[in-house]
Structure 1
């Protein structure tokens, strides 16, 4: 495997883990944003098939909702219920932590490969 292929694999890993972190942080941020009447709940997710050459964007998927009784809220329905996306905070925090750890591991491998390349250049210059 060439050095460039190793660098490309590391870059792809960094890009994918960044997407996973973005999806989890958006889901956490939107967990307490009420839905307007008729709006469907959506959650963000990283694409299942990731191609670093094509790039990727976050995808949305349908989600369930949760209702909270708050008759004073401007978006409350006739029964006083406000609808929010049902975001599983434990799942999203776990995704966020594992994506962060994976991102850090990719950074470490990229830095290690870079230092090995620099060391090889130093040896070759002697």
Structure 2
């Protein structure tokens, strides 16, 4: 059970890092296949399994040690807000509209790098939990074999 919880966390953070890397790579992409500037994407997570309070209610009725089963990516959402693009006045730019406004993605590379570090640390925490559980299982097998 703990292996799958840590593994789901590692998978979710790997996907988040891929999305962040894509945001950074497209920070200056002014036109996509849809004809608009690139829209920043964000990963939305969802817990899987039961919540602690749900598990506690079940435990009152029967003995079961399952509490949760990890996390999953619910969706990768595009920024559809009014602030998705930065408006820059540059009438000489080939992408400028009739008013001389050029739309650029509203992506802060600094913010994305902070998000990448956060995701990397979360991934490392899941690796540490995975390895700790593995060591406990190995020790239990050693003790059981005596």
TM-score > 0.5 by shorter chain = yes
1:42-53 pair list within 5 angstroms: 42-51=39-48
Structure 2 residue 87 is the aligned partner of structure 1 residue 90: no
Once residues 39 and 13 of structure 2 are traced to their aligned partners in structure 1, the CA distance between those partners, rounded to angstroms, is: 21
Find the counterpart in structure 2 of residue 107 from structure 1: 127
| 1:24-43 Cα shifts (integer Å, max 9, x gaps) | 11111110112269525421
Query: Judging changes above 3 Å, is the alpha-carbon distance between structure 1 residues 68 and 90 closer, same or farther for their aligned structure 2 residues?
Result: farther
For structure 2, list consecutive stretches of 5 or more residues without a partner in the other structure.
49-69
Query: Judging changes above 3 Å, is the alpha-carbon distance between structure 1 residues 61 and 49 closer, same or farther for their aligned structure 2 residues?
Result: farther
Structure 2 residue 16 is the aligned partner of structure 1 residue 20: yes
Q: Count how many residue pairs are aligned between Structure 1 and Structure 2.
A: 121
TM-score under structure 1 normalisation?
A: 0.74
CA RMSD of aligned residues (A): 2.9
| 1:82-114 Cα shifts (integer Å, max 9, x gaps) | 432010222211111011011001101101111
For structure 1, list consecutive stretches of 5 or more residues without a partner in the other structure.
none
Give the secondary-structure state (helix, strand or coil) at the position aligned to 2:78.
strand
Give the secondary-structure state (helix, strand or coil) at the position aligned to 1:113.
helix
Q: Which has the higher strand share?
A: 2
Is the contact made by 1:19 and 1:58 (CA closer than 8 Å) also made in structure 2? no
Once residues 71 and 112 of structure 2 are traced to their aligned partners in structure 1, the CA distance between those partners, rounded to angstroms, is: 27
TM-score under structure 2 normalisation?
A: 0.65
Structure 2 residue 76 is the aligned partner of structure 1 residue 58: yes
1:5-44 pair list within 5 angstroms: 6-35=2-31, 38-39=35-36, 41-44=38-41
